[in-house]
Amino acid sequence: MKLNKLIGITLVLSFSLLLTGCGNEEQDNGNAGDEVTNIGEEVDYTIIGIEPGAGTMDLANNTLEEYENLAGWELLEGSTSGMLTELGDAINNEEPIIVTGWNPHWMFASYDLKYLEDPKGTFGAVENINTIARKGIEEDMPNAYKILDRFYWEPEDMEAVMLEAQDVPFEEAATNWIEENQDKVNDWTEGVEKVDGKAIEIVSTPWDSERASGQVMKLVLEQQGYEVTITPVDPAIMFEAIANGEGDVSFAPWLPVTHGAFYEEHKDNMVDLGENLTGAKIGMVVPEYMDIESIEDLQPKE
């Protein structure tokens, strides 16, 4: 084929594409509100959030700032249980809803949900949950330290405890998990000397994921002879308590993003024992039946 003929065809193609483009735009305007569902309008430009102290809320607020299409949107502060009630109600009625959600959590086992894509990455990618401890703990409690350092489990383990604890107290769910997973627990405690009533304080946060890890580790440490208390506080206080030595250990930091700012602030005054779980995630979550895939596609408030 001659070159100028090829150019000719390309030009014709581009021109017709241009025409099609214009045509679509006109059609959209003409049919406004007819075919195209405005999810923003349907959910009243509102994201259902959780407790204001949660790292998730910082990320969600940042998301509202970073995405231009979320201009005029609001993030509702409340509680995790309130968010879950609204989510359950919406799903029962097949209504649209957008919440801040995360894994590990039983919400994904109970409902058909999806994360909205987050091309700007404001919710981070894969998150870990780390174990942090006060400085000096390795010298003061060498036996406990070994167990804390070895503690590692999978998202499915945490989810199993969380899911069962929907029906029974966390302590019972944790006891059952330990019974069914003696091999894992043995890996953490193998060769560690038992103690006689030494006190250890776990600083935690008030979410089911951390109720699960806290209760499991409380029972494991109790079996080794420790007197264990769990204190649930906001993430900011949790980091502070470890950094100033008021608490001994926490299994609750979500990193690198969710609690990243607190971690940076306190990292020099604490010991990081590394991940106790990998494969956690946070984001905007919607029921599977909603016709939306990306945060980017939400419509701005006019």
Q: Counting contacts by CB under 6 A, is residue 276 touching ligand PBE?
A: no
Between the alpha carbon of residue 65 and those of residues 27, 117, 150, 156, the distances in Å are 31, 16, 39, 33
Structure tokens at 157: 């383990």
Please report, for residues 100, 157, 159, 163, 289, the alpha-carbon distance to residue 209 in angstroms, rounded to integers and kept in the order given.
Answer: 15, 10, 8, 10, 26
Does the footprint of ligand PBE cover residue 286 (CB under 6 A)? no
**Residue 282 engages ligand PBE in binding (rule: CB under 6 A):** yes
Stretch binding ligand PBE (CB under 6 A), from 23-31, 49-57, 169-177, 240-248: 49-57
Give the shortest CB-285-to-ligand PBE separation in angstroms: 12
29 CB burial (10 A radius; 0-12, 13-18, 19+):
exposed
Strand duo 249-250 + 127-134: pairing: antiparallel
| Residue 102 near ligand PBE by CB under 6 A | yes
Q: Under the criterion CB under 6 A, does residue 103 sit at the interface with ligand PBE? A: no
Q: Is residue 130 involved in binding ligand PBE (CB under 6 A)?
A: no
* Tokens matching residue 56: 């998730």
* Among 56, 63, 103, 224, interactor with ligand PBE by CB under 6 A: 56
Q: Where does this chain touch ligand PBE (CB under 6 A) — which range of 53-61, 139-147, 188-196, 221-229?
A: 53-61
* Tokens of residue 274, six digits: 């590394």
SS3 content of the chain, % helix, strand, coil (to 5): 50, 20, 35
Residue 145 near ligand PBE by CB under 6 A: no
Q: Which is nearer to ligand PBE, 37 or 128 (CB)?
A: 128
Q: 109: which 2 tokens?
A: 């086992």
48-56, 146-154, 211-219, 292-300 -> range binding ligand PBE (CB under 6 A): 48-56
Structural contact between residues 246 and 269, judged by C-beta atoms closer than 8 angstroms: no
Rule CB under 6 A: say whether 54 interacts with ligand PBE. Answer: yes
Closest CB to ligand PBE among 37 and 61?
A: 61
Smallest separation (angstroms) from ligand PBE to the CB of 58? 8
Contact between 83 and ligand PBE per CB under 6 A: no
Binders of ligand PBE: how many residues, by CB under 6 A?
13
Tokens matching residue 273: 């024992």
Given 49, 55, 214, 247, the residue binding ligand PBE (CB under 6 A): 55
CA distance 206 to 80: 10
The HSE-up count of residue 19 (CA atoms within 13 Å, CB side) is 6
Give the contact letters, 181-210, x = binds to ligand PBE (CB under 6 A), - = no: ------------------------x-x-xx
Q: Are 180 and 243 in contact (CB under 8 A)?
A: no
Q: Contact 161/170 with Cβ under 8 angstroms?
A: yes
Residues 229-268, mask of contacts with ligand PBE (x by CB under 6 A):
------x------------------x---x----------
Binding interface with ligand PBE (CB under 6 A): 50, 54-56, 102, 205, 207, 209-210, 235, 254, 258, 282
